[in-house]
Amino acid sequence: MEYSQFLPFSADGNRGFGVDLGFTYSPTEKFTVEASATNLGSINWSQDTEGYKLNEQEIAYSGFELDQFLLASDSTESAIEQFADSITDLFTPEENSDNFSTKMNRNIFLAGTINFSKKSKATVFFNSRNSFGETFNSLGGVYSKNFGRTLQLRGGLQLFNMKDMLIPVGLIVNVGPVQLGLHTDNVISVIQREKAKYVSGMFSIGLRFGKDERVKITD
């Protein structure tokens, strides 16, 4: 077992790289395919590192004799202290400043979207996310609909880690150049938090730039 502790470090010596890839393809106006792979890379740590390592150990303990415990308390206490000291010696970590590397938490996303009209669309997606050595795969679908230029509502179903059913919902409100977003991956966590395994929520604010060209048709 090995445990590494990160301490404040200088900008020199600890270097890495990261790559984000993605594309969007629309063979027709009604269908769009998109894919992305982000956080591909690693960081090499060589400056101001401090690590602690515990080697595998085996302990054989046969207990204490009952008469020894009742009749000779001094020797029993001495035996217990000796045993505790030996355990402490076995599990004393070894310090080191070895170089090591850590992989970034990569994220892979695949999706296909069908545009039913200019105001409504449905998306089916697959997401594979790595977080600190563990991989979480999700499969789901989302339907979204615009109500004028101001409001967009979305909702769907998601199979998180390919076993837990989630109900994602969200909305986007456009107020002039400001765009406000509210989203949760599991609406059950909002309604009944005690029954939800996963709780998540996101609030976003965006600013839109550019000229909104509107064409006025006259006879």
Burial status of residue 140 (CB atoms within 10 A of its CB: 0-12, 13-18, 19 or more): buried
Q: How confident is the model at residue 73 (pLDDT cuts 50, 70, 90)?
A: low
Backbone angles phi, psi at 205, to 5 degrees: -130, 130
Verify that 67 and 139 share a domain, yes or no: no
Verify that 88 and 171 share a domain, yes or no: no
Among 92, 120, 139, the domain boundary falls at 92
Q: How many domains does the chain have?
A: 2
Verify that 76 and 134 share a domain, yes or no: no
Contact status, residue 128 vs residue 137, Cβ threshold 8 Å: yes
Q: CB atoms < 10 A from the CB of 71, how many? A: 10
DSSP 86: H
In a domain, 198, yes or no: yes
For the ranges 28-42, 158-172, 200-214, the one whose mean pLDDT is highest: 28-42
Verify that 87 and 145 share a domain, yes or no: no
Q: Is this structure's pTM higher than 0.75?
A: no
pLDDT over 70 at 196, yes or no: no
Structure tokens at 204: 């976003």
Among 47, 75, 92, the domain boundary falls at 92
In a domain, 28, yes or no: no
pLDDT over 90 at 120, yes or no: yes
Q: So what's the pLDDT on residue 179?
A: 92
Count Cβ neighbours within 10 Å for each residue of 34-57 and write b for 16 or more, e otherwise.
beeebeeeeeebeeebebeeeeee
Name residue 168's beta-bridge partners.
none
Contact status, residue 54 vs residue 1, Cβ threshold 8 Å: yes
Tell me what the mean pLDDT of segment 107-130 comes to: 94
In a domain, 104, yes or no: no
Range of the domain at 201: 129-219
Structure tokens at 60: 């054989």
Tell me what the mean pLDDT of segment 12-31 comes to: 88
Verify that 218 and 171 share a domain, yes or no: yes
